[in-house]
């Protein structure tokens, strides 16, 4: 007789039947069930992770919304290529391959390991007009979708770099979710209180250019960054390929909002890795009803939080593939 038990109930029964009190592994049990469903397997594989870092410049940086000069985007790109950034150091310690993508820097380091998906020399200043054309936005998303679909891994970690991109993420959360700019606007890479106030004033003026909430593609074109559009595309491409996607912090979560509005079904593949110290991140996660795995006070981006969450995915999969059941281990179950 064919097994007609719903897959989710079967997974739950298998997890509960392992040698532990039911629910005693907390969120890891939920994560195990999510991974199993994503792969449609009772013995999910979590052997390989990969990291893609998208890098681009932002015209809004001209408005003084960042504590660092725009040249830092290119300088950090070189640091990634040299292996000296936090994300590359973490990835190396975890034996995770890194793909670095030029999504649209003003100046691009010449390096054989830098993947050229350059849309333009940075976006335009969205305080004055749209950040990019609709064609540029769609091209950026297509590049990301292809990379997300074709990168060989079981779980895809996604990171970003771009001076000014916390302003783009703030605007996307505001225009897509209707969250208030007052609570969303934070220090980014290190603004002081006065700098945050000036940043907020700039974003309020930019928000007034368009009326009310926007659709996903319109919001990206008006206020996004090339690297954020590629992040959203990569999430969609990886989800289509039944891969788990580890969402990093504030910037990546804003990209996830875009991806979810375009394809709500990709939610089952997304794992929110950590709660950023950037104040707007908690607001977005709450709006998405998403519970992050870690809370470490991170606010760097680059995919660092996603990388740190990867071992938890491996552990969660091991609940189903490595733990014995009560029957297999000869351990008595709970008294009834």
The 3 state secondary structure assigned to the chain is CCCCCCHHHHHHHHHHCECCCCCCCCHHHHHHHHHHHHHCCCCCCCCCEEEEEEEECCHHHHHCCCCCCCHHHHHHHHHHHHCCCHHHHHHHHCCCCEEEEEEECCCCCCCCCEEECCCCCCCCCCCCCCCCCHHHHHHHHHHHHHHHHHCCCCEEEEEEECCCHHHHHHHHHHHHHCCCHHHHCCCCCCCCHHHHHHHHHHHHHHHCCCCCCCCHHHHHHHHCCHHHHHHHHHHHHHHHCCCEEEECCHHHHHHHHHHHHHCHHHHHHEEECECCCCHHHHHHHHHHCCCCCECCCCCCCCCHHHHHHHHHHHHHHHHHHCCCEHHHHCCCCCCC
Q: How much is the pLDDT for 4?
A: 67
Q: Are strands 244-247 and 49-56 parallel, antiparallel or unpaired?
A: unpaired
Q: Which of 151, 157, 173 is nearest to 241 (CA)?
A: 151
Write out pLDDT tens, residues 285-300: 999 999 999 999 999 9
Contact 114, 102 (CB under 8 A): yes
Q: Is the pLDDT of residue 197 over 70?
A: yes
Contact 83, 89 (CB under 8 A): yes
Q: Give the phi and the psi of residue 245 in degrees, each rounded to 5.
A: -115, 120
Q: Is the pLDDT of residue 1 over 50?
A: no
Mean pLDDT lowest among 108-117, 232-241, 327-336: 327-336
Q: What is the sign, positive or negative, of the torsion defined by CA atoms of 77, 83, 86, 91?
A: positive
Write out pLDDT tens, residues 223-253: 999 999 999 999 999 999 999 999 999 999 9
**104 CB-near residues (< 8 Å, 6+ apart):** 56, 57, 118, 119, 120, 121, 122, 123, 140, 225, 226, 227
* pTM recorded for the entire structure: 0.96
Mean of all residue pLDDT scores within the chain: 96
Tokens of 21: 């009190």
Residues with catalytic roles: 302
Q: How much is the pLDDT for 332?
A: 84
Strand order in the sheet with 49-56: 114-116, 98-104, 49-56, 155-161, 244-247, 270-272
Q: Give the phi and the psi of residue 299 in degrees, each rounded to 5.
A: -155, 40
Contact 73, 55 (CB under 8 A): yes
Mean pLDDT lowest among 27-31, 57-61, 118-122, 188-192: 188-192
Q: How much is the pLDDT for 333?
A: 74
Write out pLDDT tens, residues 151-181: 999 999 999 999 999 999 999 999 999 999 9
Q: How much is the pLDDT for 23?
A: 95
Q: Delineate the domains of the chain, giving CATH numbers in brackets.
A: 7-45+318-329 (1.10.1610.10), 49-315 (3.40.50.10210)
Q: Give the phi and the psi of residue 293 in degrees, each rounded to 5.
A: -75, -40
């Amino acid at each position: 007789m064919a097994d007609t038990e719903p897959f989710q109930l079967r997974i739950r029964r298998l997890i509960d039947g392992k040698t532990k009190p039911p629910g005693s592994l907390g969120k890891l049990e939920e994560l195990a069930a999510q991974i199993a469903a994503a792969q449609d397997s009772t013995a999910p594989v979590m052997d390989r992770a990969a990291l893609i870092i998208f890098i681009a410049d932002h015209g809004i940086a001209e408005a003084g919304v960042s504590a660092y000069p725009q040249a830092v985007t290119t300088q950090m790109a070189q640091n990634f290529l040299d292996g000296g950034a936090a994300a590359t150091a973490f990835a190396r310690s975890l034996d995770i391959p890194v793909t670095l993508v030029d999504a649209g820097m003003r100046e691009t380091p010449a390096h054989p390991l830098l993947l050229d998906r350059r849309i333009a020399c940075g976006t335009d200043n969205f305080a004055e007009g749209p950040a990019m054309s609709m064609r540029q936005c769609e091209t950026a998303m297509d590049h990301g979708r292809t990379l997300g679909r074709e990168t060989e891994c079981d779980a895809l970690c996604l990171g970003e770099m771009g001076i000014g991109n916390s302003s783009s993420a703030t605007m996307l959360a505001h225009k897509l979710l209707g969250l208030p700019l007052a609570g969303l606007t934070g220090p980014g890479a290190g603004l002081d209180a006065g700098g945050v106030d000036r940043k907020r004033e700039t974003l309020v003026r930019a928000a007034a250019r368009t009326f009310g909430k926007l659709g996903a593609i319109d919001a990206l074109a008006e206020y996004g960054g090339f690297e954020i559009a590629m992040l959203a595309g990569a999430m969609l491409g990886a989800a289509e390929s039944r891969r788990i996607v580890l969402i990093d912090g504030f910037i990546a979560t804003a990209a996830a909002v875009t991806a979810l509005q375009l394809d709500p079904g990709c939610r089952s593949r997304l794992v929110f890795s950590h709660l950023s110290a950037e104040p707007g991140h908690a607001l977005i996660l709450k709006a998405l009803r998403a519970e992050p795995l870690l809370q470490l006070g991170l606010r760097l981006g680059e995919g660092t939080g996603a990388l740190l969450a990867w071992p938890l995915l491996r552990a969660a999969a091991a609940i189903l593939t490595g733990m014995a059941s009560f029957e297999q281990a000869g351990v008595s179950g709970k008294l009834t």
